[in-house]
């Protein structure tokens, strides 16, 4: 059954970018109409979206969508749980072919700004798949550096391990901790290594005080906002389908937590996102004013 849609929030006073979205998954596993999703987001001040492809099908979709839609750029990778799955089902030949295709897609056109989401996940991948997961992470780090793309990192229950791999391989110039899930100490460790921290709807959850403390200590120029839609819908609409038009709920909470003016924080987050993902961004609709 498709989850209900949340009501449209008030528009933001300054544009921001949803820097991590899965339009190809959309509602109930079916892709959104990208044009409609982009227009709905732009109407509330979310004027650009980074579309992330996590498997070969999704990566192809992201690359094509970035070609078709102004205001949308793409990231491509094998998700940390996808690489072990491919290896388990098709062996080394299938995994090498998948990595090769991700490299081809990552260099397809200027609208592909990121290699990600990659990283580590101890929640859904067990010890039997960990070596492949780590190897895939290393391959994606190398790809991001060779192509001068932003590295987007998925980290679930693997804080220390992610930093160990990054330290061993050397982080690329631009990298993002997607859906940051650590506390203030882990935030400092990432920031010291040059990371941008991306905050999702999880920062609005009642049990997320350590995450809010990380938000408080992060410099303005390292903060990003995302949905991870259709997942992680912000409070008070948990259980409903997330989408880019709900970013204002997260941004308002972020401004409240930091004790900052909403418009000023939105402007800082937009600038931080442009810096984090590099390149010249396409023109985007003008945001409505609240």
This prediction has a pTM of: 0.95
Q: What is the 3-state secondary structure (H, E, C) of 1-37?
A: CCCCECCCCCCCCCCEEEEEECCCCCECCECCCHHHH
Specify whether the CB–CB gap between 193 and 172 falls below 8 A.
no
Which pLDDT score, from 0 to 100, does residue 70 have? 87
Q: Which of 131, 1, 143 is nearest to 59 (CA)?
A: 143
Per-residue pLDDT tens for 168-214? 999 999 999 999 999 999 999 999 999 999 999 999 999 999 999 99
Q: Is 140 annotated as a binding residue?
A: no
DSSP 8-state assignment for residue 278: -
Q: Which of 43, 10, 52, 20 is nearest to 227 (CA)?
A: 20
Q: Is 109 annotated as a binding residue?
A: no
Q: Is 185 annotated as a binding residue?
A: no
Beta bridge mates, 48: 17
Per-residue pLDDT tens for 230-267? 999 999 999 999 999 999 999 999 999 999 999 999 99
Per-residue pLDDT tens for 58-90? 999 999 999 999 889 999 999 999 999 999 999
The CATH code of the domain at 16-277 is: 3.20.20.140
Q: Is 228 annotated as a binding residue?
A: yes
Q: Is 87 annotated as a binding residue?
A: no
**Is residue 129 predicted with pLDDT exceeding 80?**
yes
Beta bridge mates, 198: 224
Domain residue limits, the chain: 16-277
- What's the Cα-to-Cα distance from 21 to each of 61, 140, 206, 238, rounded to whole Å? 13, 19, 23, 17
Q: Is 117 annotated as a binding residue?
A: yes
The residue with tokens 């081809």 is: 104
Output the average pLDDT for the chain: 94
The residue with tokens 């994606």 is: 140
Specify whether the CB–CB gap between 61 and 24 falls below 8 A.
yes
């Amino acid at each position: 059954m498709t989850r209900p849609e949340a009501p449209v929030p008030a528009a933001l006073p300054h544009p921001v970018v949803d820097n991590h979205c899965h339009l190809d998954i959309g509602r109930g596993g079916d892709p959104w109409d990208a044009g409609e999703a982009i227009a709905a987001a732009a109407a509330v001040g979310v004027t650009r979206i980074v579309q992330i492809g996590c498997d070969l099908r999704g990566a192809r979709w992201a690359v094509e969508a970035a070609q078709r839609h102004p205001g949308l750029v793409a990231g491509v990778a094998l998700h940390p749980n996808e690489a072990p799955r491919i290896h388990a089902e098709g062996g080394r030949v299938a995994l090498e072919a998948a990595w090769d295709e991700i490299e081809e897609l990552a260099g397809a056109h200027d609208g592909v700004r990121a290699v990600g989401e990659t990283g580590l996940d101890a929640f859904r991948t067990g010890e039997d798949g960990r070596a492949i997961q780590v190897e895939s992470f290393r391959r994606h780090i190398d790809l991001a550096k060779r192509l001068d793309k932003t590295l987007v990192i998925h980290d679930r229950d693997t804080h220390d391990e992610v930093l160990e791999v990054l330290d061993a391989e050397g982080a690329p110039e631009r990298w993002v901790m997607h859906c940051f899930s650590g506390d203030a100490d882990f935030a400092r460790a990432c920031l010291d290594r040059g990371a941008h921290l991306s905050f999702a709807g999880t920062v609005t959850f009642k049990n997320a005080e350590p995450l809010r403390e990380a938000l408080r200590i992060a410099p303005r120029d390292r903060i990003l906002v995302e949905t991870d839609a259709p997942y992680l819908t912000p409070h008070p609409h948990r259980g409903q389908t997330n989408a880019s038009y709900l970013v204002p709920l997260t941004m308002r909470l972020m401004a409240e937590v930091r004790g900052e003016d909403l418009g000023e924080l939105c402007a800082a987050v937009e600038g931080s996102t442009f810096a984090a993902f590099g390149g010249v961004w396409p023109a985007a609709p003008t945001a409505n004013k609240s």
